Structure 1
Amino acid sequence: MSPLAFDIAHMFAGGLVLVSFMMLYQDRLLPLINVLSLQSLLLALSVAWQAHIQDKPDLYVTAMIALGFKSIVIPMALRRMVVRMGLHREIEVAVGTGLTMLLGIGLVALSMDLMLRVTAGASALIREDVALALSVVLLGLLIMVTRRNAVSQVIGFMSIENGLILAGTGARGMPLVVEISVAFSVLIAFIVIGIFLFRIRERFDTVDIQVLDRFRGERR
């Protein structure tokens, strides 16, 4: 592989980590959805580039799925949900933004140290792509843990799935049938989550996880 091809692959994978930090920094829902769309766009570009350098045409299908569903369709659906439920306020957070960013930096350092040790026998491209993919997964988990709004937790879940796709393609790809089944499973899960969000909003007039936990405690 030429140094240029390696650098471009590294740039796309590193871009996903950078956009994950942008997601951690956002405190309003609509900008957070826009950043998720940007992350999915970078994922599609990364997968398409991996298809080119690995000479695996089936990965172009994965890139098109990421571009169509994860970068366009799902963010548009999330925006409509936010507008219909009137969720234009700031996102309630369990941890301050500064501390969250520091935790994110620590998770990235941990994933780099861990994966570079575990994959010592692999090629440099696979090692770095898998390490960066684990960083995206851990940052997605951090979004889910530190955000109290149910919609933002859905976005964290989508970010985790982006990291898993990056890991699969960086490690010389998954079978196409697996990639398609995962994509449609995520789409179905998103539809089910959307239905539940509307039902929760109608029943409790909020999607704040802390309020729902308090209500559950009162019922007990």
Structure 2
Amino acid sequence: MNIEQLDFYTQAILSMAALVGLTSFLMLGQGRLLRLIFVFAMQGFLLTLTTALAAYSLNNHHLYISAVLTLVLKVTFIPWMLRREVLRMNMHRDVEALKNNTAVMLGGASLMVFSYYVLHPIVQSSSIVMLNALAVSLSVMLLGMLLMISHRQAIAHVVGFMSIENGLFFAAIVATNGMPMVVELGVAFDVLVAAVLFGIFFLHIRTSIDSLDVDLLNKLHEVDK
């Protein structure tokens, strides 16, 4: 089936799925933290558009509340909090040298192909939207894990963790035609609590070692008095 033969909702969801997967892939190669946070905010904005599109096309009005919560938390509040920490630590000019960046990017591309390969036999009898939604969701989660493994900065780990949650959220919105309202509010509350806890975590690390490089934590040892 040609893409021109698909309805507007299907074409829009497929485009959003491609862009969400692209943002996760772009985050892998970012060495500057401010750029990483910007791409993460863009991914949150794409999720907001996807949720609003699903609310309009499926006539599911409570999804508009979910879109507003996504806009407030993942596009505004969490990126603002992370950006503030970067500027406070004067890390906005630092460039993180990734170990074997080429291998990391190739690994990310392989994970995206792997996601489609694994899910295609499972959902081959389903719609093209279901296949792409689940495949992109799985690839976003795997790329988020790879981001956490390949980067040293604690802020990059937070972005990777939130990216994993974005992948789950995308699949829940597209594949299930919207979660129940109570579930969406529970997810938003969990994200807000996680952001607050990460802020406290940053504060303690900055106070202890004056850096957010998690590799420095391995060098800490007890000193005999």
SS in 2 for 1:22: helix
User: Is 1:185 aligned with 2:174?
Assistant: no
Number of aligned pairs?
Answer: 218
Q: How does 1:37-186 map to 2 (within 5 A)?
A: 37-88=41-92, 89-93=94-98, 95-172=99-176, 173-186=178-191
Following TM superposition, the consecutive aligned residue runs of length 4 or more in structure 1 with deviations greater than 3 angstroms are none
Whether contact under 8 Å (1:40, 1:71) holds in the other structure is yes
Whether contact under 8 Å (1:116, 1:128) holds in the other structure is no
Report the Cα distance in structure 2 between the residues aligned to 1:53 and 1:2, rounded to whole angstroms: 14
TM-score normalised by the chain length of structure 1: 0.93
For 2:23, the equivalent position in structure 1 comes to 19
Query: Matched residues, percent identical?
Result: 38
* 5+ long unaligned stretches in structure 2: none
For 2:220, the equivalent position in structure 1 comes to 215
Of 188-197 and 83-92, deviating more is: 83-92
In proportion to residue count, which structure has more helix?
Answer: 1
Report the Cα distance in structure 1 between the residues aligned to 2:180 and 2:123, rounded to whole angstroms: 21
**TM-align CA RMSD:** 1.8
SS in 1 for 2:36: helix
Report the Cα distance in structure 1 between the residues aligned to 2:210 and 2:64, rounded to whole angstroms: 42
C-alpha displacement of 1:91: 2.4
* 5+ long unaligned stretches in structure 1: none
Q: Deviations over 1:3-36 (max 9, x none)?
A: 3321111001110111111111110111111111
What code does the residue aligned with 1:29 have? L
What code does the residue aligned with 1:186 have? V
SS in 2 for 1:106: helix
C-alpha displacement of 1:72: 1.0
Report the Cα distance in structure 1 between the residues aligned to 2:80 and 2:148, rounded to whole angstroms: 20
Report the Cα distance in structure 2 between the residues aligned to 1:156 and 1:210, rounded to whole angstroms: 17
Report the Cα distance in structure 1 between the residues aligned to 2:76 and 2:128, rounded to whole angstroms: 32
